[in-house]
A and B are shown apart, each in its own frame.
Chain A
Amino acid sequence: MAEFLSLQEAVSRHISNGDTVAMEGFTHLIPFAAGHEIIRQEKRNLTLIRMTPDLVYDQMIGAGCATKLIFSWGGNPGVGSLHRLRDAVEKSWPHKVDILEHSHAAMACAYEAGAAGLPLAVLRGYVGSDLPKVNDQIKFIECPFTGEKLAAVPSVRPDVAVIHAQRADRKGNVLIEGIVGIQKEVVLAAKRSIVTVEEIVDDLGASVNACVLPSWAVTAIAEAPKGAKPSYALGYYDRDNAFYKEWDGIARDRETFQTWLKDNVFEKGAQ
């Protein structure tokens, strides 16, 4: 059964230095509060996995939490670059970060394969792309039935999955609504999972086919209202597109970034 913990306790107990951590949420429900708590606890040498690193990993990479990143699209959506990610890759600041990059289709399949307990995912992908030349985790196999050449990538099986969701009930069952991304897959693929939620309620109010994670499939739940801001939680608050634009200026410069980090993360306590 999922255990209700404070965010501080959940991160402290379930994320260790050197872990492989996948914090998901495809543009929607990005677990920013949890990311900030990981920064405050100064976790180090993490391998971070996320299809779209987004601002949350830009902040964690700039803060020095990661030594490796596995991803498929590393930009600030509709705005431009993730400057902290670029500074780490191009100039090794604050230190070197190794990258392993995929396409979205391959990563989505890799999460699904992880959830399915398989060692690999198979897709009709990477045809003619240079990505297999720079990522040794992309191979090609022959279909034993038709002979078709298909791409294969290892499944994603992180130590820890971290996601944000709209709500949990008092037994710890979790409801995810709207753009559900790969939230279910990453939790089922991981050894442990932390789910932050907007609120804890008596009744989830889930429709019969809703995306629900049963309590026994989740390790820890922490209440974190507005825990996905500046991304959004459908039904609770909108994406703060103005902040996504503002981030470009904050992240471009190392000092401005560090001041932002101090004022908005380190000097703010855990919820």
Chain B
Amino acid sequence: MSLEFTSSEMMSVTAARALNNDMTCFVGIGLPSEAANLARLTHAPDVTLIYESGTLQTKPDVLPLSIGDGELCESALTTVSVPEMFRYWLQGGHISVGFLGTAQIDRYANLNTTLIGDYREPKVRLPGGGGAPEIATNAKEVFITVKHSKRTFVKDVDFVTTVGFGRDGKARDNVPNIGRGPTIVITDLCILKPDPETKELVVTSLHPDVTREDVIEATGWEIRFADTLETTPAPSAKELEVLRSLKARTNAHHSGQQ
């Protein structure tokens, strides 16, 4: 019997599976945090999670609403200052994976969280860079998780807040001492990976019951598909149970405060 699950659950479970026990992951808030903690509560109990508020090796019981909820500090091995976090732990080369979300992403996996429109006269002002610009270059590799839509997946981002591979796919070439950049993008429809040569994002795996047309329809450029296109394995009963219970605990926690 096949299980019922939503496309959001499919995305979180798939994103969680990208992490393993050997990784030290610098976690962005929102979808990446959900995926990272799901990984920790299922197949990767020893994955090291680090948040930019300074909490090292943290094991929150509920998902934090902000990057610095008390839960993160109280369940951490130790908590360091923010300059130490960015200078010693991130820039110093101790992070294997930076896990990021975004508002816009383009074909070279550049991320925009700054604004829609023109910088001086924005149509929509977004929060800005936060930790992402340096996470994306100082972590050894970058995972991205974001919902798939034409508004989000654009040919060229309005503003490169955080570099993927630049406007031409070559921004990382010959830059010393930085990571290799995005290696996987997980959406609610599919998995994309950068082409080894051109760095353009290519669909490598479709989630169950998703068609090529669904992805084409939700992407703002002429999206390419890998020659051997895989089907992403569906979530297991255990993954769904752990994810749902994590989200229920989180919702109860954040709405119960006064």
Q: Name A residues whose Cβ lies closer than 8 Å to a Cβ of B.
A: 26-28, 51-52, 71-75, 77-79, 81-82, 85-86, 89-90, 101-106, 108-109, 111-112, 123-131, 134, 148, 178-182, 184-185, 211, 232, 234, 238-245
Contacts and interface: CB of A to CB of B under 8 A. Distances in A.
B101 to A, nearest CB: 11
Interface of B: 29-30, 52-55, 64-70, 72-74, 79-83, 85-87, 90-91, 110, 114, 119, 122, 125-134, 137-138, 159-163, 166, 171-172, 175-178, 253-258
A71 B126 CA distance: 13
A60 B178 CA distance: 39
Given A182-B82, A245-B255, 13 more contacts: A77-B67, A108-B86, A112-B87, A127-B172, A128-B166, A130-B114, A184-B81, A234-B74, A239-B70, A239-B257, A241-B255, A245-B65, A245-B254
Contacts of A89: 122, 125
Contacts of A108: 82-83, 85-87
A112 B68 contact: no
B82 A239 contact: no
Contacts of A241: 65-66, 69, 253-255, 257
18 contacts: A28-B68, A72-B129, A72-B130, A75-B126, A103-B131, A105-B90, A108-B83, A108-B87, A109-B83, A123-B87, A123-B91, A128-B172, A129-B133, A180-B80, A181-B81, A240-B257, A241-B66, A241-B253
A42 to B, nearest CB: 26
A130 B91 contact: no
Contacts of A90: 122, 125
B65 A124 contact: no
Contacts of A180: 54, 79-81
Given A26-B54, A28-B68, A181-B54, A242 B254 contact: yes
Nearest to A233: B70
Contacts of A79: 65
Nearest to A88: B125
A20 B130 CA distance: 21
Contact of A182 (B69, B83, B161, B256): B83
B160 A74 contact: no
A241 B80 CA distance: 23
* Residue among B81, B86, B138 with most chain A CB within 10 A: B81
A52 to B, nearest CB: 8
A182 B82 CA distance: 6
A131 B91 contact: no
Contacts of A85: 125
Please name the 10 residue pairs, one residue from A and one from B, whose CB atoms are nearest each other, closest first. Answer: A27-B68, A128-B163, A75-B127, A77-B66, A73-B130, A78-B65, A105-B134, A128-B171, A105-B86, A103-B133
A125 B68 contact: no
A78 B30 contact: yes
Contacts of A128: 110, 137, 160, 163, 166, 171-172, 175
Contacts of B126: 75, 81
A221 to B, nearest CB: 21
A28 B138 contact: no
Contact of B177 (A51, A86, A124, A240): A124
Contacts of B254: 241-242, 245
Contact of A131 (B80, B90, B133, B175): B133
A5 B256 CA distance: 36
Nearest to B257: A242
A103 B171 CA distance: 19
Contacts of B68: 26-28, 77, 179, 181
Contact of B132 (A27, A75, A103): A103
Contacts of B161: 129-131
Given A71-B128, A104-B130, A238-B257, A244 B65 contact: yes
Nearest to B175: A127
A93 B127 CA distance: 18
A79 B66 CA distance: 9
A98 to B, nearest CB: 11
Contacts of B53: 26-28, 179, 181
A52 B68 CA distance: 11
